[in-house]
A and B are shown apart, each in its own frame.
Chain A
């Protein structure tokens, strides 16, 4: 400004001749230059402003690069199922599939870099089980679709290395069962877009897909090691006797938690999909069977409870019982008379029927109802069999047949819960597949007296020491249990060729912790079972081999120096000493 003022004063003409136009011209040019600079600056400022505005608008309103938090990224689409010790049983697993996309190259030429035959040959090198000619036709057809539903990460890498753009490897989340077929009936399977099917996948469907809760795995009550041992022994027993199926349950007597539950033949939840699966029938909770002699201890317990059996030395008539037109006989003659412990040890139908008769139908019926035998079993699984329960008031015949386990068909789980109540001091509790905290254990209801329970422990132990359960007596584990072999009811009466042999046991008998129930469906007489089909040769040996395997895992140590005290009953059975 000062400069301008100076130039203006300097430009004031003293003698305004000749030079005046040039002075004004100079001023004009100067002015013009300044205006141009101003325009330039204004232009730059405008551009800068626009750029800034654009940046600001992008910053505020534009889409930021997608940013997922750690939790969101790691949250599985479906919650994990674990066993009671946290071993994963079912988890969401990132998997790869192989998809053929002919349009991936973006031109109208061949979808593949190599010829389809060459590409098929290369794929054959990665997946040896594919049909090369079929794969070549498939690639030549130019139709998009899955070439393989699931491939391994290393296979995905090798496919990627082929350099074929059309062979895409989309990443998909899969429901994966690391243990394979293990505990398949407990777990069930998942069908895409339909959710869990059968098993705990179906029961916990809402919980597992809940966004709030699916980060936390759900612990089931089963122990994967016990489950493995149970299935292993069951399978071996089933194959050895050429049976059509088998079921097994290991139940905690004090909480009702199912430690293991198996039904054979099994299915593979990894391959079960929308088409369903074979062998989903759960023999342990859905199959109802007349379990035969395994009911005799329950009858005797009810009779002790009712005061019908007080003197264990009392002799009961063991001759065939004539009821109406039928006659109840023992499978082999056991003498003229037997006492109650002998009747259990030698599995006498006649004495048990007479004990049941002396007690009366109503008392036995009430005990069976208290043990939940008239309803579907108490378990979370959707597959629960309805027992075949004699309707109305029981007749004398019904009473007598139920007393030794016929005329009433229940699931193996019913029997396991009843045995748990019989040996744990008389408290019946519903069984569960969820891991229970000590505070959540149901109080249960009293079915038997404490004194009855302790008598039954003695007698169950005596059965496996002196009677039909000898093959289940694992040394040191104080196993006590009862065999049961019943003919299957078919059309028009019982089928003599089809047997269901069962063994219900508890261990250790001096302080029972677990009940084991094993049911073998239609065993045949084979070399392995000494050409016998009865429970002593088919299901009891399974328990005898299973208990030593699972005992130490479940905190039961073998001990030769401990046992339940049977000294007051022993002389009644063991006459030799």
Chain B
């Protein structure tokens, strides 16, 4: 049998042993982390060198002389002329000036279709009504993101047309909806 002082010293010894064990475990852990850091550092060095190599290779392949030669043979880009520059906001604004009352129609050689512009959104919004109540349907996706509807439509359009009564309206591309709106058709009519 041990007395209380023996038990206490045994207890202290046990605590000491546990602490020692913990310190040992901790130091192992520290060393493990250290060597991990070292490995990571080595990898960083390797990657930096690789980056340098690739960057230099890119710079070499795209050196000024090579670019000039490619331009001469393949692309033929010329230096910009003065007509290609705008001199400040005033000149930019002058391009959007309203035509005078007797002015002839401007000759246009090119036209850009802006499917996701502000007008396009207005048209698709106008076409979207609930087939049941006839009330306007505001899509959460349309409200947050302009493109989301089109992206969604492209991905799941056909699938959703069959699945849902409201979806056909949503499944149209904005341009189609716009064109339909111009013809007096509504998406509601199509859906039924």
Contacts and interface: CB of A to CB of B under 8 A. Distances in A.
B85 interface: yes
A475 B81 contact: yes
Contact of B82 (A153, A181, A476): A476
A180 interface: yes
Nearest to B44: A70
A93 B60 CA distance: 12
Most B CB atoms within 10 A — which of A153, A181, A558?
A558
Nearest to A182: B64
Count class of interface residues, chain A: 35 or more
Q: Is the interface of B mostly helix, strand, loop or mixed?
A: helix
A93 B85 CA distance: 41
Contacts of A231: 64-65
B164 to A, nearest CB: 54
Interface stretch (B51-59, B125-133, B152-160, B174-182): B51-59
B45 A560 contact: no
A362 interface: no
A179 B59 contact: yes
Contacts of B63: 178-180, 182
B20 interface: no
B56 A88 contact: yes
B80 A225 contact: no
Interface string A55-89: 00000000000010110011000000000000110
Interface in A519-570: 548-549, 551-552, 557-561
A551 B60 CA distance: 25
Given A93-B56, A552-B79, A557 B64 contact: no
Contacts of A552: 79-80
Interface string A122-155: 0000000000000000000000000000000100
Contacts of B67: 228
B49 A94 contact: yes
B65 A91 contact: no
Contact of A70 (B41, B52, B59): B41
Contact of A558 (B44, B52, B65, B81): B81
A560 to B, nearest CB: 5
B119 interface: no
Nearest to B67: A228
B56 A176 contact: yes
A232 interface: yes
Contacts of B64: 179, 182, 224-225, 227-229, 231-232
B66 to A, nearest CB: 8
Q: Is the interface of A mostly helix, strand, loop or mixed?
A: mixed
Contacts of B81: 475-476, 548, 558
B52 A94 contact: yes
B87 interface: yes
A151 B183 CA distance: 69
B65 A180 contact: yes
Interface in A354-407: none
Nearest to B60: A178
B141 to A, nearest CB: 42
B45 A73 contact: yes
A87 B83 CA distance: 30
Contacts of A551: 79
B82 A178 contact: no
B85 A559 contact: yes
Contacts of B60: 178, 180
Contacts of A69: 41
B48 interface: yes
Contacts of A229: 64, 68
28 contacts: A67-B38, A69-B41, A74-B49, A88-B55, A88-B56, A94-B52, A176-B56, A178-B59, A180-B63, A181-B65, A225-B64, A228-B64, A228-B68, A229-B64, A229-B68, A231-B64, A231-B65, A232-B68, A475-B82, A476-B81, A548-B79, A557-B82, A558-B80, A558-B82, A559-B82, A559-B85, A560-B82, A561-B87
Given A91-B52, A179-B65, A558-B81, 8 more contacts: A69-B41, A74-B48, A231-B65, A475-B82, A476-B81, A552-B79, A560-B82, A561-B87
Chain A to chain B: the 8 pairs with minimum beta-carbon distance, closest first: A228-B64, A548-B79, A476-B82, A178-B59, A558-B82, A73-B45, A178-B60, A232-B68
Interface of A: 67, 69-70, 73-74, 87-88, 91, 93-94, 153, 176, 178-182, 224-225, 227-229, 231-232, 475-476, 548-549, 551-552, 557-561
